[in-house]
Structures are given as structure tokens and as C-alpha cells.
Amino acid sequence: MVPRPLLRLTVFPLKALSLAVPLALFAPAALFAAEPASQAATRHYQIAPGPLSQVLAQFAVSAGVPLAFDPALLGQRQSNGLQGDFSVQDGFARLLEGSGFTLVSGDNGYTLAPLGSDGALQLGATTVSALGGEADDSYAGGQLARSAQVGVLGRQQLKDLPFSVSAFTAKTIADQQAQTVGDVLLNDASVRQSSGFGNFSQVFMIRGLPLNGDDISYNGLYGVLPRQIIATEALERVELFKGPNAFVNGVTPGGSGIGGGVNLQPKRAGDTPTRSITLDSNGSGRTGGHIDLGQRFGEDNRFGARLNLLQREGDTAIDDENQRSTLATLGLDYQGERLRLSADLGYQKQLINQGRPVVYLDTTATSQVTQVPHAPSARDNYAQDWSYSQLEDTFGMARAEYDLSDNWSAYVAGGAKHTRENGVYSSLTLTDLAGNGRGGMLYTPHDEDNKTLMTGLNGQLQTGPVSHQLNLGLAGMWGEQRSAFETIASSGRIFNNLYDPVQRPRPPATSFASDIHDPRIVGKNQLKSAAVSDTLGFLDDRVLLTLGVRRQSIRVDGWNTSSGIRTSSYDESITTPVYGLVIKPWEHVSFYANRIEGLAKGPTPPTTAINRDESFAPVRSKQVEAGVRLDMDSYGASLGLYRIEQPSSYTENGVFRVDGQQVNKGVELNLYGEPLDGLRLLSGATLIKTELQGSSGGTNDGNRAVGVPRFQINLGADWDVPGIQGAALSARMLRTGAQYVNASNTLSIPAWNRFDLGARYAFTLEEKDITLRANLENVANKAYWASANGGYLTQGTPRTLKVSATLDF
């Protein structure tokens, strides 16, 4: 008998060893009984060759029928795929021909049995996947998933959402050897990356607006993850939501994320044990090792544990830059018939010595910088040898879900994080076109503690011909920040040159704030919200209307770092609504539209700003968007148009300002999946038009926003080499348009291109699976300014070789 939780799942696979291996596909029994005619009808299928277990799973998804089987039964059997017109029975018969197995029909779906057997294989009560028992389907090739966790709306099929969402899988992360979340997000043409103010944090420009690492959620919870750089080795999914998302996820703790949000899903143990060791190197001396172990145990495999350990250190491709990364995570879960529990514990430490800094431009009236100097050689490093950054995070969360009935479930989750950071930073401010400038010194220890909770209720009901998906949610986060700093006066800055840097002694600090050994409190924030939504389905859910509202309370207190005196405090409550519409006139085509708002606590000035202790009131933004999706089972495409209105903030002449409004209008095109057998695409393009409005005195009205290019293009392809089983080649081009560095639009950086190549080969040796991978980023070693976000310059990555070997045993 198939256990009750499985009957509610439309797709249920297993990921093992970072490769999608479907375990089982289930559909409601009512659907199985109601559609015999559709199963007898013929449809056209074009499924690529591959392991028989994966091909069967893909066929079942495409045909819309329930299938349950243990992939271990099929061993290493391969399939030629399925091309042509078939009924469900004929398709299964063709795929199973010569395999030694036959299809068996039961009350609740299909399963497999060896030839000669008259009964179905018993799966038991296992309800586990890499995402803890939730749908884990993906497009052909396994690079992008079909579903994602969308805040209070829960796990949703992307084709049913009135928003633009992408979900990158563990397979993409592994095959590209993506070591940080930033590496993964570059696969979307709507995203580009810059560095933080004066430090090495990753900042993501989504639809032309920044998302800081502080504002990335972990399994739906804010304030839990490491805040500057996030490693990927323990992640199953990187989910990208494009556009404001105050209703979906609530207010971000750091005040960014108006252009989009990111949610990360941890790895879970699957029914097939995970035993994986990966060794890697970058060709410059930086080497690493990653161990991934997963196991299920107990009655019906209800309990699971997944352990990930990483150590990577050595020189990077940038001259004299050295990095060390340490990661340890443990994911535990329990999958019962109605109750599901999970807990994730993690520790991450990043040490960056002599990291290449961002570059500022002197824009005062006496400046000789009349244009942006060209970028130095791609490998050049203009950092001082005494500069470093050390980032240490300990974090954890737990989640419980309980099915109150077949249609209603409740959940509660909580988490906490402790961050300890310290570093000595020295960024160069250029004063002329020859690359001469002044370098500072800033030592800034920082401690941070966050606690976060959320609870909610998800359910379905029917009122006459109208279906309802109801969601109720409560969320709260409490944060405390402690900081101190040592720096030097402007008169004591050290002179240097961008193109011919000289190592200078570390200058003695002349200005102090707080106790660098025991930093005092500089900020507290308390974020609370309540949300309710209803997705109404009409005409057999071919029309889906989402209506929702979230009431949010933001309380922020700030203290002067030097004096310890409270300088600001506000407590405001704001309501943010959402309206979304999906229309599915044809089987593979859907139209969508939304009107959604963004809300964030006031922006925080960078530590380099004159008014760094000033606090700003919450900022509210809004977006309208419309688009169309094509979902052809094995591949998909989307086209969308959007308009975002957001209060504008930037740093000019050393002063951080919130001035007027920034309007971003864009068109996005994406193509993904496997349109041809053996050819996978991750490609897209976006055109962005920005305009500043209502600036002080109208000085900058009509100008383009700082750090936002006119276009961004991604052309990415992954191709199976014919005749060589397990071999594949990949290539990617990133092209980004010119960007203005200042709000007056007198300084700009040119457009840039980056080309990446990759290859991998998977084979079996003595019954052990081995995968060799090689990726070369920035093949031409192009020297370019990658971003002008924030009014400063971030230089692009030099040519970087990544090679690795993974042993699955």
C-alpha cells in the first residue's frame, strides 16, 4: 500500500551524489482513476538517452502518470530514450523492452517488477528526497528545477506562479564547480555581481538593484546564513525570485533585495546512501577537499543524516591573494506519515589575505579624474600586504511540518546565527588618470547575533467551481549588531598607484571608535509580519488569481559607533499587498502578471561614508510585471516585461544620500532545458532602462542609475559528446553593457565580455563512479571593470582554472 503522504505528491524523485536520480513519481489516486482515456491517447515524446531509471522517471512526468520504483533495481541499465508518438502503455513497453522488467498496475499507480513476478515491488513508507520529501523534478538535463520554495506560498510549481522564479540544482553547482552562491547566480542574465563597500562581500545586482548576502534566506528563514560569502557545497538548490518580494518573504534584515531575492535549500539524505569525495585545484596552488556523506536509517528509512565537510586554501588566480575556506554542515531529518522534522547546523569560516579591493574615484571639485582609468591587468593586485578579512559564522535552524488533514498542513521553523568578523581594509581612491591615488586603513571588528521564527498554515479547499490555495504566515526576526573601528585621518592616507602599487607600512590609527576587543552595540532591529493569501483557481485551474497582503512592523535603533549615543530610532508598520494572475490557454503556454511591493528598512551608509552612523527611514518600492512562459517538458522559455520604482540611494563626495526615485524598466528573455537531445541551454538576455526622478534640485533628473547596464546577455550551452558515454563540453559567454559610476552620468565604465569553457567525463571504475571536471573562466584573461555598483569599481575575475575529481562509492 502506498503511504498517504506519497499520494499527495505529483512528482517525487531522489537526488543522490549531486545527480538527479528519480526515486518515485506519485499522483493522487483520484487523478489516476479519472484519466484512463488520456493514458490510452497517443502523445509525442522526445526524451534523450540516459540511465533507464532517469528516462522512466522523465517519461512518467511527461505523461502525467504515477510511478513508484526503486532505481537500485535497474542498476546501470541504459536507455536509448523515447522519440515519437506513443500511448502511456506503449511508451513504457518500449522503454522496458529487453530490460528484464515489466510494468505492473495497482490501485494507486504503476510500479516495476521482474519478468515472471505477479506482484508489485513494495516501496514502504519512504517519503524522502533531497528536499526532504518535496517535489524535486527538473527540466531535462537537470540544471533547472520545476519547483521552488516561494516564501509564505510554500513549494510551488514555477509554471503556476505569477512571478519570475529560477531554481538552480546541485547538478549545476557540481558541473560548473561553483564555489560560492555568486558563481551560481551568474547563470541568470538578470544578475551580475559586485563587491561590498570596502570589503570582499558578494553583492548581487538583480534587475539593476542590489541584494546583499545578509538578505539571503535559508529554507525560508532570513538572518541565518553567513552574511558576506556563502559556500555551495552543502546546498541542494539556489532559488532566485526576481522582483520585489516583501509579501512573499517579508522584510529583509539588511534592507536590500528590492530587485529580487534568493533562497537556499540544504541537502538532505536520500534513500540511496551518499558517499562522495571531491578533490579540487585552481591551477594557482589553491586546493581543496569536500566530503559528502548521507544515509537513511530506522524503520522505513524515516530518519536521515547528511554531512558535508569542506576545506579549501591557497593562492587564487589574482597575484599574492590567498584564501582559506572551511565549511561543516549537518542536516538531520525525520519523515513520518504526517510529521516531518528537519534540523540544519553549520559552521563556515572564510579568510582572505591581501584580497584585491574595490577602487574609488575622487569626484570632488578639484579632482583630475575626468574619466574612468582603464582596468589593470586581470591578475594584478593593488592590495597592501597587511590587509585581510576573516569571516566566521555559526548557524542553525529547525523546521517541523504536520499534515492536519489531506488538504491542510501547519509548519513552524526557527533559527539563529552568530557572526564574528574582523579585517584590515585599504582601498585606493584615484585622484588622476595616471592611476595615482590615496589609500586608507580601516580595522573594523564586527559581531552580530540573529534569532528568527516563522509559523504558518497552508491548505486547499473547493467552493463550487472555484479552488482555493490558502496561506497564513507569521514571521519575526531579532538582530543585534556590535562594531568598532580604527582608522586614519585623511591627511595621513598613503599615496600609491593603481598600475604600479608599492607596499607601504601599515599606518598607525589616529581615530578610534568603541573597544576593538569588545565592540559595543551599534544597531538593533526587530522585524515582525503577518501574511495571508488566497490563490483562486477557475476553469479547472487554467486561470489562477493570487491575492495577498502582509502587515509588517519594522523597529530599528542605531547608535553612534564613537560615542555610544543612540542617534536614531523608528518603529513603523506598513501593509504591502500582492496581486498575481496566471492564464493557461494551452497545454504548454501560460501568461502571467503581477503587481507586488518591496519594503526594507532604511539603507545603511557604508563605513567609508562621512555619515556612516546615520539611519534612514524604511523604503517602499513597487513592481508591475507581465510575461509569457513556454513549458515543453524537456525545455522551457520565458519572456517578461517589468517596471520597478525604488527610492534612490548612492554615495557622492563621501556622503551617502537617499535622493529621489529610481525607475527600472526591463525586458527579460530566458531559454533553458534540453531542446535537442544531448544539448542543454542556460541562456538569457535582459534590456534595462533606468531613470532618476525627483533628485535634489532636479540636478540628476532623467539620468541613468549608477551601476546599471543597458543590457546583460548570457549564452550558455552544455553538450554531450557523441560516441563517448559520460563526456560533455560546455561554453558560456557573459556580456554586460556600459555602466555609469556617478549619478551625474559624467563617468562610466565600458561594456565587457567574458568567455568560459568546461569539460567533464563520468565513468565507472571497479564499480565506483568517478567524475572528472575542468572549467576555465575568463578564457581570454580579459581585464575589465565588472561593476560600478555603489559608485565604486569592482574588477572582474582573471583567467581561473578549476579542476576536480569526484569519487562516489
490 in helix, strand or coil? helix
Tens-digit pLDDT profile for residues 33-49:
334 445 567 777 778 77
Q: Is 170 exposed, middle or buried (0-12, 13-18, 19+ CB in 10 A)?
A: buried
To the nearest whole percent, how much of the chain has pLDDT over 90?
70
Query: What gap in Å lies between CA 154 and CA 459, rounded to an integer?
Result: 10
Grid cell 522585524 in the structure block, residue = 527
Q: DSSP class of residue 93?
A: H
Sign of the four-CA dihedral 61, 64, 65, 66 = positive
Report the helix count and the strand count for the chain, using DSSP H and E: 8, 51
| Closest to 356 in 3D by CA, of 312, 323, 313 | 323
Tens-digit pLDDT profile for residues 561-597:
877 788 778 888 999 999 999 999 999 999 999 999 9
Q: Count Cβ atoms below 10 Å from residue 610 Cβ, excluding itself.
A: 12
| Closest to 746 in 3D by CA, of 703, 692, 702, 693 | 703
State which H helix or E strand residue 514 sits in: none
Query: What gap in Å lies between CA 704 and CA 708, rounded to an integer?
Result: 8
What's at 296, amino acid-wise? Answer: R
Degrees, nearest 5: CA angle 665-667-671: 155
* Cell numbers linked to 652: 557622492
What pLDDT sits at residue 607?
A: 63
Query: What gap in Å lies between CA 181 and CA 204, rounded to an integer?
Result: 10
**Is residue 33 within 8 Å of residue 75, measured between CB atoms?**
no
Domains recognised in the chain with CATH numbers: 4-114 (3.55.50.30), 262-808 (2.40.170.20)
Q: Is 690 exposed, middle or buried (0-12, 13-18, 19+ CB in 10 A)?
A: buried
- Work out whether strand 260-266 and strand 217-218 pair parallel, antiparallel, or are unpaired: parallel
Query: What gap in Å lies between CA 307 and CA 274, rounded to an integer?
Result: 10
Q: Which residues of the chain have pLDDT under 50?
A: 1-37, 117-136
| Closest to 661 in 3D by CA, of 621, 688, 603 | 621
What pLDDT sits at residue 15?
A: 33
What's at 394, amino acid-wise? Answer: T
* Cell numbers linked to 19: 545527480
